[in-house]
Structure 1
């Protein structure tokens, strides 16, 4: 029997190449190797101020992105979180075994609480428990996430152990699955920060739906380090980030890229990098455009997957409730 994986992305805006290289590209391989459950986590999106504005459109956009990128409903379950209410019911049950002190230590909560001090909601505080429910309700073995989400998976592990200690063996304790290549693509305007959907600077990221002109302009504006040689050096994070992107889309190694641009400057390298990205995204963009013309087909895929997900979730929720003495 294949091991099960669970992962998801919040529908908070267009995905960028960092999302693709860090998550979705891995999922395309994982769906062939594991019993795969992928989720559009719209309930998590609601913890962001004003997230409900245009949420349906964002969910549809993310679904077409997943499918155009190559996720296959015949190989994986692809559904919308809010269409499986068992997630929120299990969240409440898990809340009863989750220490407040553990939640107060969560780095993302502390960071976002500082950023939105006047608008901190309970959903943001309880976010890790809902994420634990997302994972545990499918008896997940492995969770493919970026390094920034490791702490949340560790919390899910803690909650699973606490529940099992309190009520008897019920949930699998999931493991983190992190793959190095492309796991962290950095912002084009600040290589000390991760590329982000929420950055106010549109030139900090390349969206998967950007036009060739937009891609060329963004790469042209991307900051570089001092010096002229095209060499991969972690001490020069801006150039290292661009080489990482080039390598991921071209399948050339960093050393091959260095050799190719020996004696050439940043201008030629950036022009070629933009063209590599444009060429790589062209098939995806064509598929996405076609799917956007078939909303009923996309809706049907999500509904069928939600039924599959709910069948698994209902069974595991029932067991948890029985262990807790609920009718």
Structure 2
């Protein structure tokens, strides 16, 4: 029995030793970023290289202020020099190398080189970088990114109004219960909230929640989120705190059918209006004798010509001073019999 226990222990130890190199290799394959220089002035250039990224992924490289590797970029991409950013594509080995111009971000340092996935892999890596001559300011106070934890599943609250049916921006509130597991209070925490559609990575915007969460306490946090005008389809709302995504919630937005109805009505009303305008112009340029009768006025009847079938015979109206004369339809004034004319009856 002792021999069997010893053999089982040795086998278990061998298995653990065999798994250790694999674990180390997995950790080594996590995304990493290296800079050719840790400091540079405006107008200069550095080389950003990385390894351990997903092959074929598209990355965005930015110089951002008001950021540290442990807290991320406070304020999202609004704190970055977006106009001087560069894109890089990961090769088949999971590596990349791209030159990045040194630019001054719109916010003061501490600064980082921010590398984030745009399509596919959405990992984010921040590396400390000093922009020479750029102002420096302390970061907002925070008790640390690891003190807040999600206690309940998040949900979206709110409904669409009538204006959303006609293309107005859809609005919701991300509602989640957070607990403070740290040793100090968290006052007015800053979150990054963003929306993504399809394969594109979310674009985060800063949202600050007003309140204090004491150690060991929890709070119901509500963060507003808004889409662009006319947006529809399947979206995903992400909330990030301290550089880590803590909430992901799907959001299905209906199509603004009111806009479609508006264009259909416009396609009917405009041609009808143009037709009426055209007919009014035709009435004005038509000769006076051939004007089209207006609605509600009967068309004048023209007398029927003689010899074109039976029909009523028009009798001219008598004028003042004339004696009315009866004219039979089968006699003409010259062929009517007179009193002195002989008749054939009784003649010998």
TM bin, normalised by shorter chain, reads under 0.3
TM-score (norm 2): 0.24
More helix by share: 1
TM-score (norm 1): 0.25
Which structure has the greater CA radius of gyration? 2
More strand by share: 2
Answer 1 or 2: higher relative contact order, Cα 8 Å, separation at least 6: 1
